Amino acid sequence: MLSKLKVQFFSRLDVKLAVFYTVALLLISLILSSFFYYRLQHNFLKQIDRILKDEVTELTLEIEEDHDIVKGCKEFFEDISYRESYPVFFRVMTHDGVSLWESENFSTILSDGIKEKKHFTVTVDQRKKLRYRIYETRFTFNDQGPFVVQMATKTKRADKILENSLQNIFSAIPVVFLLSICCGMYIAQKPRKILQNITAVTRRITSQNLAERLPLPPGQDEIRDLTLTINFMLDNIESSFDEIKQFTADVSHELRNPLSAVKGEIEVAVSRKRDAADYRETLHNCLERIDNLIKMVNDLFLISRFDAKKYDLKLSRINLAGLLREMYIFFLPIAREKHIHFVIKRCDTLFASVDRHKILQLLSNLMDNAVKFTPDNESITLSLIEHRHEAELRVSDSGIGIPEGDLKNIFKRFYQVDPSRSGDDRGAGLGLHICKRIVEVHGGSISAVRNKTKGVTFTVRLPLK
């Protein structure tokens, strides 16, 4: 049980963030402390080296002024004997190592003889456990030499400061560690509480209460952006659920009516004995209704492929004017039966890369609607022109028209301007929706506007490419 609680504790986001911040802060602190210690040590050594070089310069000047090495060394020794900060010790030798002057106990500081070049070293006096910085160089005097001078000073003061600095650094590290843990846990509590609230609300959201949304946290940060994104996703999910529910209800309604009609026709036919003509008429009516059902199912299948983006466009460069004339010739006899003035006002030769079958279906749906909802002795006008590098197709009628409030909904699936309409004029409400999907997959647009007098005009724009 304890191990499980331990695992859960260290799996928490605020704990992980606190540990991450603490480790990062400790690493930065160690790097900065090491750099500070190195720079402090380097500066102390530079200062000591500069002092030793200056002292060697003063010693050589003193020897030149006295014209004697031993006398100059004595006077220089008297000058430096009262120093406290950085007391210096020195030795002057011939180039073959014979000592000419030496400070007291200098041999305990540096027992080695002459070196081959200038050098700085730190040695340890074994008796007093002290560290020294030593500088050695050569000079000439009265055309004699070269002579060797070795200058040394204690590094005790600098070592003490460095030691105290190191102790302070090691003392500060645990404090920094504790403070970073506490501050990290405190700071991470806010996002953890917000995420816990998001989790709790999200768990309450089901298909029955999709209207619930996450509360927006204060501030303009990433958590607020996450909350807005989740709410936006829930809006889309709710919209999709509503569409699915509406789709299910519409399909059930559209299937129930024709099936009930077929069932009624058959029940009437078998209720009593009839002649062959009556049975033939019943079968003809049933077949017509079944054809309508098959057409609706095929339309639904096409829409589902559009929704799943699994449509297969067989694009080819086609003359749109030829397709328009082909569908015009097909619907012309139907329009003449209703005494509709059906004409092509203008038809430019325009080539576009389109799917022939889909465009024919688009034209068929638009013309079928125009003929179906245009009363006798009215007119339907077709046109195809080029407008701003697009093919603009218009189907305009002087029929019953569409109310202004319904224009924005007519391209929705199963939407019908007059749901009470029955008979041959009543469709499933899928034709215009399919037109919209066909146009969209070709990179175009479709719109509908009311005419000034009566009727409506559908405008399709397809890119010429």
Q: What is the pLDDT of residues 276-295, one digit of tens each?
A: 888 888 888 888 878 777 87
Q: Are residues 407 and 459 in the same domain?
A: yes
Q: Is the pLDDT of residue 115 over 80?
A: no
What are the tens digits of pLDDT across the range 436-463?
989 998 999 999 999 888 889 999 999 9
In this prediction, residue 329 carries a pLDDT of 93
Residue 385, helix vs strand vs coil: strand
Most confident segment among 205-209, 392-396, 430-434: 392-396
Which of 60-64, 138-142, 354-358, 392-396 comes out lowest in average pLDDT? 138-142
CA-based diameter of the chain, in Å? 156
In this prediction, residue 332 carries a pLDDT of 92
Which of the pair, 23 or 113, is modelled with greater confidence?
23
Q: Are residues 31 and 156 in the same domain?
A: yes
- Whether residue 310 is contained in a domain is answered as no
- Whether residue 214 is contained in a domain is answered as no
Q: Are residues 75 and 45 in the same domain?
A: yes
The percent of residues above 90 in pLDDT, for the chain, comes to 19
Q: Is the pLDDT of residue 423 over 60?
A: no
- Whether residue 207 is contained in a domain is answered as no
In this prediction, residue 177 carries a pLDDT of 81
CA distance 384 to 390: 10
- Whether residue 305 is contained in a domain is answered as no
Burial of 115 (0-12, 13-18, 19+ CB in 10 A): middle
Residue 228's domain comprises: 222-298
Give mean pLDDT, residues 421-438.
Answer: 71
Which of 62-71, 296-305, 371-380 comes out lowest in average pLDDT? 296-305
Q: Which CATH number does the domain housing residue 74 bear?
A: 3.30.450.20
Q: Are residues 262 and 393 in the same domain?
A: no
* Contact call for residues 148 and 59 (beta carbons, < 8 A): no
Q: Are residues 133 and 262 in the same domain?
A: no
Q: Is the pLDDT of residue 401 over 60?
A: yes
In this prediction, residue 284 carries a pLDDT of 85
CA distance 459 to 465: 19
Q: Is the pLDDT of residue 389 over 70?
A: yes
Q: Are residues 44 and 111 in the same domain?
A: yes
- Cα distances (angstroms) measured from residue 300 to each of 16, 58, 154, 261, 309: 51, 106, 97, 21, 14
* Number of domains the chain is built from: 3
pLDDT band at 422 (very low <50, low <70, confident <90, very high): very low
What are the tens digits of pLDDT across the range 214-244?
777 776 777 778 788 888 888 888 877 777 7
CA distance 329 to 229: 52
What are the tens digits of pLDDT across the range 116-149?
555 566 666 656 677 888 888 888 887 787 888 8
Q: Is the pLDDT of residue 366 over 80?
A: yes
The dihedrals phi and psi of 286, each to the nearest 5 degrees, come to -65, -40
> Of 263, 187, 255, 197, which is closest to residue 224 (Cα–Cα)?
197
Q: Is the pLDDT of residue 420 over 50?
A: no
> Of 291, 297, 289, which is closest to residue 257 (Cα–Cα)?
289
Q: Are residues 409 and 455 in the same domain?
A: yes
Kind plus residue range of the DSSP H or E element containing 15: helix 13-66
In this prediction, residue 188 carries a pLDDT of 72
Q: Is the pLDDT of residue 325 over 90?
A: yes
In this prediction, residue 339 carries a pLDDT of 92
Alpha-carbon Rg of the chain, whole angstroms? 50
Which of 65-74, 178-187, 315-324, 362-371 comes out lowest in average pLDDT? 178-187
What are the tens digits of pLDDT across the range 246-268?
777 767 766 776 777 788 878 87
CA distance 90 to 93: 10
The amino acid at residue 401 is G
Q: Are residues 239 and 275 in the same domain?
A: yes
Give mean pLDDT, residues 389-401.
Answer: 90
In this prediction, residue 395 carries a pLDDT of 94
pLDDT band at 22 (very low <50, low <70, confident <90, very high): confident
Give mean pLDDT, residues 298-315.
Answer: 76
Give mean pLDDT, residues 332-354.
Answer: 92
pLDDT band at 379 (very low <50, low <70, confident <90, very high): very high
For residue 241, what are its two tokens? 């659920």
Q: Which CATH number does the domain housing residue 272 bear?
A: 1.10.287
pLDDT band at 204 (very low <50, low <70, confident <90, very high): confident
Which of the pair, 193 or 392, is modelled with greater confidence?
392
- Whether residue 168 is contained in a domain is answered as no
Q: Which CATH number does the domain housing residue 327 bear?
A: 3.30.565.10
- Whether residue 4 is contained in a domain is answered as no
pLDDT band at 333 (very low <50, low <70, confident <90, very high): very high
The chain-wide mean pLDDT, for the chain, equals: 81
Q: Is the four-CA dihedral 274, 279, 282, 286 of positive or negative sign?
A: positive
Q: Are residues 118 and 41 in the same domain?
A: yes
> Of 299, 316, 314, which is closest to residue 368 (Cα–Cα)?
299
The percent of residues above 70 in pLDDT, for the chain, comes to 88
Give mean pLDDT, residues 322-347.
Answer: 92
Q: Is the pLDDT of residue 199 over 50?
A: yes
